[in-house]
Amino acid sequence: MIEDMKNVEEQAELLKVIAHPVRLCIVRGLWRSGGCNVTHMQCCMEVPQSTVSQHLGKLRQAGIIQGERNGLEITYRLKDERVKAILSCLFPK
């Protein structure tokens, strides 16, 4: 039972990270587009770049996204398959 509870707690943490509206919007956008940079996200969501960057940091720290640097630009992509599965339930295509 203890191992099962640990798994439940891990899943709850994942849900907490993506539960914020801005972070949910970011992961949904990355899921739909395959990847994009901060400037594109900022324009789509009409929020300051610093806000987007803060939320990207939380998503990156949780292991949900990864960034790939190309010169000065970083392209972010989803890397957690569980989040992709959740998004497919929440936002059917």
Is residue 71 within 8 Å of residue 37, measured between CB atoms? no
Which pLDDT band, with edges at 50, 70 and 90, does 3 fall under? confident
pLDDT in tens, 39-63: 889 888 889 999 999 999 999 999 9
Q: State how far the Cα of 87 lies from the Cα of 78, in Å rounded to an integer.
A: 11
Total count of domains within the chain: 1
What is the span of the domain harbouring residue 34?
2-86
Element at 75 (helix H, strand E) = strand 73-78
What is the gyration radius of the CA atoms in the chain, in angstroms? 14
Nearest to 76, CA basis, from 32, 15, 45: 32
Q: State how far the Cα of 72 lies from the Cα of 53, in Å rounded to an integer.
A: 15
Query: Does some domain include residue 91?
Result: no
Query: Does some domain include residue 19?
Result: yes
CATH of the domain at 67: 1.10.10.10
pLDDT in tens, 8-20: 999 999 999 999 9
Query: Does some domain include residue 93?
Result: no
Query: Does some domain include residue 26?
Result: yes
